[in-house]
Amino acid sequence: MPHPSEQPNSSDLIRARTTLGDFELTILSDGWYLLDGGAMFGVVPKTLWQKRAPADDDNRILLGLNTVIVRTGRHTIAIETGIGNKLPPKLRDIYAAKEQLPLAFATAQIRPEEIDIVINSHLHFDHSGWNTTQTPDGRIVPTFPNARYFAHRGEVEHGHLQLERDAISYISENYDPLVASGQMTLVDTRPAEITPIVPGISVECFPGHTAQLLAVHIESAGGHACYISDLIPTSAHLDTTWVMGYDLDPVRSIAERHRFYARAIPERWMVLFTHDHQQPCGQISLNEKNKPVLQAAP
Ligand SMILES: [Zn+2]
């Protein structure tokens, strides 16, 4: 399995730059990490998934952490904020967290102060980690001081329950301080419902991975992109039944993928993948066997 270099170069940090209508999209990376391939592909046998996602000697596959910056002309939006710098030492070791999102911002010449909207698809620590930054003296401060943050109310409530199954996925310092200060707005978007955030940007609830997973729609001048988050984490997960072992409701994930493809394929959406380091975006079409496949971005 080829690993990117330990010392990130600018293409490791900036995974893609493209336009959508009048909007400018930049895909930044908080780094690549390694996760167990079996967990990432649930009940799919390794003999099948390893053809698309080669595993290392410890059965781990390479994943990315993609943050999408959207400049609409009126707003500068950050979708998702990577792993961050607050992991407990044991988890930091397991994930070999790169903590490179601030460097990616600097390399792309985007200042954190410019971000006026942050959207979290859900509040797992690998999606909301840089919402806040731990300073060298141990304080927790907002990484984006001028931003309004948006997340689903149900995610905050679920995180607070600290359930046996997924307590480890929620680090309250990623959201509690922002809710307390009023900087984070909690939405109540119900399944299949769409909530507008700012012109051209809205969120839609696709349950399955978590009960309130939000996808982010980006629409400008007839173009449509969608950050589909952990409903379809990488382009190796396009088959409707190749859902993750992490999903709380995998059967729902399969149904929600059908609902997503029913629009994304005929309307030729640009699909943005949260954990695909190699192919962070592309269009999906059906092959001769009627299976969804990726057409790499032009
Ligand atoms: Zn994830």
pLDDT in tens, 99-122: 999 999 999 999 999 999 999 999
One-letter amino acid for residue 68 of the chain: V
Closest CA to 48 of 37, 35, 58, 56: 37
pLDDT value of residue 164: 96
Q: What is the pLDDT of residues 244-255, one digit of tens each?
A: 999 999 999 999
Query: Taking ligand 1, which is a single-atom ion, which protein residues have CB atoms under 5 Å away?
Result: 126, 230
| Dist. CA 191 → ligand 1 center (Å) | 19
pLDDT band at 296; cut points 50, 70, 90: low
Measured CA to CA, the distance from residue 58 to residue 35 in angstroms comes to: 9
Q: How many residues does the chain have?
A: 298
Q: Residue 163 to residues 70, 157, 169, 226: CA-CA distances in angstroms?
A: 34, 11, 10, 30
Q: How many Cα atoms sit within 13 Å of 2 on the Cβ side?
A: 3
User: What distance in angstroms lies between residue 40's CA and the mean position of ligand 1's atoms?
Assistant: 10
The answer to whether 124 touches 233, Cβ cutoff 8 Å, is: no
Measured in angstroms, how far is the CA atom of residue 101 from the centroid of ligand 1? 16
CA of 116 to the centre of ligand 1 (A): 23
Q: Report the percent of the chain where pLDDT is more than 70.
A: 97
124 CA to centre of ligand 1 in angstroms? 7
Quickly tell me which residue has 């949260």 as its tokens: 274
For residue 158, what are the contacts with CB-CB under 8 A and spacing of at least 6?
Answer: 123, 170, 210, 211, 212
Q: Which two tokens stand for residue 181?
A: 């200060």
Q: What type of residue sits at position 159? A: G
Provide mean pLDDT across the span 24-38.
Answer: 96
How deeply is 79 buried, as exposed, middle or buried, from its count of CB atoms within 10 A (0-12, 13-18, 19+)?
buried
Q: Mean pLDDT throughout 203-232?
A: 98
Q: Which pTM does this prediction carry?
A: 0.96
- Dig out the tokens for 192 from the structure: 């299949």
Closest CA relative to residue 278, chosen from 80, 58, 40, 54: 54
Confidence of residue 97 (pLDDT cuts 50, 70, 90): confident
Ligand 1: centre distance to CA 288 (Å): 30
Phi, psi of 280 (to 5 degrees): -70, -15
Sheet holding 223-227, edge to edge: 194-198, 201-205, 214-220, 223-227, 270-272, 281-286, 292-296
For residue 70, the CA-to-ligand 1 centroid distance in Å is 20
Q: How far is the CA of 274 from the centre of ligand 1 (A)?
A: 7
Over the Cα atoms of the chain, what is R_g?
18
